[in-house]
Structure 1
């Protein structure tokens, strides 16, 4: 290996051959980054933490997130890869009254991308080891300590967009990223020039204002992050979630670079429309076994079924789906999880009506969890106010029409 390191021509050929072989290995783009510390990123991460913008899912040690030498003994290069995924759903089922549906973000369509990209990295490692038996490598997919996006940007996979995604002209932002730290002295690639220009469509379209600036994301307000939490969600953010069950694609959908891009060459990411745009009500009482069978191989399953169920309850409230009241009342009355009971109360308050109001009043007399009880109380007050407003409006309409208002007891 020592003698080979001095053979610059060998490494130049190896890198060129690797890039040529990438497509056949199931990799859409490949680049090489230097293993130097990510000094600028470290400063941004420190400020990010100070501002309270972290999601809580990140690795805690900022030094290990920004210095490859703390993860790998004497690194000489980092190989970055990207694999594209589809942005369009073929023949999607309709969401309509009585059959309301939620939606999973495109990054969770098909097989779990962590599994797929690990297999791609394994293929690449085997290819390299055939040519360099002394290879040492450490692969990472999303859950590694390094920032996939920072490595990909340095390796020339794409530029960092204002929506904080890595993007390029071939595949837009519809790409999964991963990397491999190695002991191979490969020449680094050059970063791609930022092409976002003056466009701010992603920032303007963000449902919650989580994009606080170009490339700056407050994860605490990002709908994608919120859908993955297990706690009670604020009234404001529940309204913003809409019918999203996992993730959010808004800032990618509005991006002009993404227009017309739909990568379909990887069969693992082909979406099952009924899985990624499922009916909401059946999710409310789905068993653990059913959930694992249906979603276990999907990247959305990493947090378990609770967030998906909570988000389904929220979606029914945002749809104001009156037909779902009996199912929501059942959750409010019988579910053992306070977060689900409180969220069901919120949705019933949004939907309103006599049955919802009565269920909320009954729940106030039995609920013992303080947080859930608080939500139930506010939901009951909202439903009661809506009922009074409706009654007053009907009385006014009747008066204007010269009719006697109907007795509430008739």
Structure 2
């Protein structure tokens, strides 16, 4: 018999330790999700960051034998920054998405789940449990939806009535049988604002995402970004909030329950130029505490170069020229070659590109240089 009192005790304890929402779901296989994931694979919509096999991602008892219940938790994060610094000419700034503000949420949720696990273990010494946050095999959204935390929106986020989609999710599989909550189903209705607003058309239809087009994914890649996406990035250094910002369910939602989630404006809206010359140690000291640093320095620096091109920041040219000639990484040299031609059409840019071309050995960088030279020649009427 499912343990009703234990569930009540867990809910009460979750509030004591600062969990904003908690829900309980069966550990039955996610049959619909499995079918959907197969379609995602066929269509090549997956990002490559997904963990585990299809079976592990949809059948909880493969992760924890004799699994009975999945406990889903949600922690609400801020959507507004106090006193954000302004990005002005000569002092341009980039932006990290809201989900990367404050301390890395993986650490925060893991601490909460550990406390919850320990509480359950004390109450039921025979309990076996397995917790995960975001990088685990289970699909957080599918679990949260089944557990009644919120519904899965067309923006591919869980939308809660209380906090909108500004929530972090985590879950704990357990062998203890606990009463399940009612799933929360779609409440987006005919609203299509997120799909219409997506800068790259990554939201294919309600609730389906082509990860390879999603700016949040693109900002985390480590290669030279395809031409068609560069101008879509704007000043984003990590992640994208567009589909959340336009969502009517997020209007007026701004939660400040957790001091460790509060953003440091200088970290999450940083000056762009200093990023380009950061050492690995500087990068770690500046950004190491936030989740947006997990892919390392190179993607952030590449995105900072693209952001400077977005602003057409003339003052950045000396630094970009130096990167074009001296940086050991082809991705940085190639992106700099593109950026300088976006920023200025002066003869100085042409000279630097010609010099760089003579010395460059990387085929992908040479291609970027050639495209920029061609662009400058067309603009100057030389071809």
Q: Which residue is 1:368 aligned to?
A: 361
Do structure 1's residue 377 and structure 2's residue 334 form an aligned pair?
no
Of the structure 1 ranges 19-28 and 182-191, higher mean CA displacement relative to structure 2 is found in 19-28
Residue among 42, 46, 54 paired with 2:38: 46
The structure number with the bigger radius of gyration is: 1
Q: Which residue is 1:356 aligned to?
A: 349
Q: Which residue is 1:236 aligned to?
A: 228
Is the Cα–Cα contact under 8 Å of residues 145 and 185 in structure 2 kept in the other structure? no
Q: Which residue is 1:114 aligned to?
A: 106
Question: Under a length normalisation based on structure 2, what TM-score does the superposition of the two structures give?
Answer: 0.98
Q: How many angstroms apart in 2 are the aligned matches of 1:267 and 1:233?
A: 35
Q: 1:130-279 maps to which residues of 2 (within 5 A)?
A: 130-279=122-271
Q: How many angstroms apart in 2 are the aligned matches of 1:193 and 1:49?
A: 24
Gapped regions of structure 1 (runs ≥ 5): 1-5, 390-410
Q: How many angstroms apart in 2 are the aligned matches of 1:386 and 1:304?
A: 36
Q: How many angstroms apart in 2 are the aligned matches of 1:350 and 1:361?
A: 16
Report the Cα offset of residue 18 of structure 1: 1.5
Report the Cα offset of residue 331 of structure 1: 0.7
Is the Cα–Cα contact under 8 Å of residues 152 and 185 in structure 2 kept in the other structure? no
Report the Cα offset of residue 388 of structure 1: 3.5
Once the two structures are superposed, what CA deviation does each residue of 1:78-135 show, in whole Å capped at 9, x if it has no partner? 0000001000011100001100100000011010000000000011112222221222
Residue among 13, 20, 23 paired with 2:5: 13
Report the Cα offset of residue 355 of structure 1: 2.0
Q: How many angstroms apart in 1 are the aligned matches of 2:12 and 2:187?
A: 26
Is the Cα–Cα contact under 8 Å of residues 97 and 238 in structure 2 kept in the other structure? yes
Report the Cα offset of residue 387 of structure 1: 3.3
SS in 1 for 2:169: strand
SS in 2 for 1:180: strand
Q: How many angstroms apart in 2 are the aligned matches of 1:248 and 1:136?
A: 37
Gapped regions of structure 2 (runs ≥ 5): none
Q: Which residue is 1:387 aligned to?
A: 380
Report the Cα offset of residue 60 of structure 1: 4.8
Q: Which residue is 2:299 aligned to?
A: 307
Do structure 1's residue 294 and structure 2's residue 286 form an aligned pair?
yes
SS in 2 for 1:176: strand
Report the Cα offset of residue 176 of structure 1: 0.3
Question: Under a length normalisation based on structure 1, what TM-score does the superposition of the two structures give?
Answer: 0.91
Is the Cα–Cα contact under 8 Å of residues 53 and 218 in structure 1 kept in the other structure? yes
Report the Cα offset of residue 17 of structure 1: 2.1
Over aligned residues, Cα RMSD in angstroms? 1.2
SS in 1 for 2:204: strand
